[in-house]
Amino acid sequence: MEEQEKRQVEEKANWNIKPYLAVGLTSFLVIVGCIAFFFLIYRYHGFTQILSQIMVILQPITIGLVFAYLMTPIVNFEEHHLMPVLEQKIKNQQKAKKVVRGVSVAGALLFVLLVIGVLMQMVIPELYKSINGMIGTLPKQVNNFMDWISDYVDNDSELSGYLEIGLTKGTEFFENWAKTEFLPQTKNIVAGLTSGVIGAVRIVFNVVIGIIISIYVLMSKESFIGQSKKLVYAIFPGKQANAIIHTVHKSNEIFGGFISGKILDSLIIGILCFICLYLMKMPYTVLVSVIVGVTNVIPFFGPYLGAVPSAILIMLANPIQGLYFILFILVLQQVDGNIIGPKILGDSTGLSSFWVVFAILIGGGVFGIPGMIIGVPVFAVIFYIIRNILNYALKRKQLPQDSESYIFAEKLDTDQNQLICFQKDQEEVQKKDKKKSRLLEKMTDKKGHKKK
């Protein structure tokens, strides 16, 4: 006891405030810098205008990089199978590699265009028929739907009165909105349509330029990879550079596995939806299947976003079939979430359900639909980086890295550097450990082998 008291007195005497002042000053400067950066972005309009102009200028390059990234697995697959064949025919290896790369890039581009063309050839005529038929029969379907509702509530006078009042108020609201809001804004609507057409032409032009850029990127992808690694090793120290490159490899693994798996999963769901709806003789089979398959790319919320407009379309044609469709979608999404999705995607992101929903909400709130699609892999990369940083810090402190060890933790014994658990919980853990050891003893013999 006396030695501990002497040690505490010596620690108080040797206590130095300078490190704490340095930490406090650093924290203050970081907070001030963050606030200044926030006002620079959101308050200074010139900066945001310049940033938006740069994003518009770089849009073709962004599209080209995305195309190149999506076509890289196809190029690698073709190179893997073409290289052994051409190496036997072409003696110069450098020339053989260039020929294989050019053929692989051209083959990948033709494959993607062929798939898109086949899908458009199969889907667009059916979509045109469905939409044209829907436009032609929509007034009749609405009248039939209203007649069905009126027949259903005809015996209930009170409910029919409420519906009549609601329809009257809705009609008055629509008339007032058309007079006060819609008609005065017709000029703006026409101007918006004109700008929309110009924007669509610009997007097509950017896509064409992006495809050309993607070809250049794929032809010399090793050169770009080497330049990027050279830059990282030149700027950062060895350990930090290795950590950055390892993180980039892991990010590529997460993004590649998630995006390719999600596209394949959505394609399977769209085909299954088409087959089942065709057998159930549902209206707008192709249109609904396309909507369900495309929206399935968005994790978690996508199936429900696609099911709502599809159910409304089917209900207008046949209310009973609309209810059957809702039940079918619920069953289909359970099959996708529990069987098809896990088999294809596996644990590519390493995120729990809570963090998946969190990532989708944040990504959708900031970037809209594209944010909902890429929000999960982006957050998975951030989660992976944070987890590695925490594990490294815990390893330096010689503390356990698994989260289960901290569930019953009450405090840390600084002298022995051990976690102290709650007494009751610790006793329960010990009892569980004893039960496990007894079961293992029963299942194994004296030599430690499992009993038959």
Instruction: Tell me the H-state helices in 178-284.
Output: 186-219, 221-235, 238-279
What are the φ and ψ backbone dihedral angles of 296, each rounded to 5 degrees?
Answer: -70, -15
Instruction: Name the residue among 72, 106, 110 with its Cα closest to residue 259.
Output: 72
Instruction: Report pLDDT for 417.
Output: 67
DSSP for 33-65, please give it: HHHHHHHHHHT-HHHHHHHHHHHHHTHHHHHHH
CB 344 within 8 A of CB 264: yes
CA 86/CA 228 separation, integer angstroms: 30
Q: Report residue 413: phi and psi, to 5°.
A: -80, 105
| CA 123 – CA 270 distance, rounded (Å) | 12
Beta carbons within 8 Å of 304's beta carbon, 6+ residues apart: 333
**What pLDDT score was predicted for residue 189?**
60
- Is the distance from CB of 361 to CB of 318 less than 8 angstroms? no
Residue 297: predicted pLDDT? 82
Could you report the average pLDDT of every consecutive run of 10 residues in the chain (452 residues)? 54 55 72 74 64 80 88 86 80 81 88 81 69 65 65 60 67 67 61 69 87 89 89 87 87 83 84 88 82 82 80 79 87 81 68 78 78 82 85 81 73 69 56 61 53 49
Q: Which helix (H) or strand (E) holds 329?
A: helix 319-335
Contacts for 310 with CB less than 8 Å, ≥ 6 apart: 284, 287, 288, 291, 292, 325, 329
CB within 8 A of 351, min separation 6: which ones?
A: 359, 376, 379, 380, 383
CA distances for 132 relative to 126, 146, 291, angstroms: 10, 22, 17
What's the predicted TM-score (pTM) here?
0.63
Say if residues 360 and 376 touch (Cβ distance below 8 Å): yes
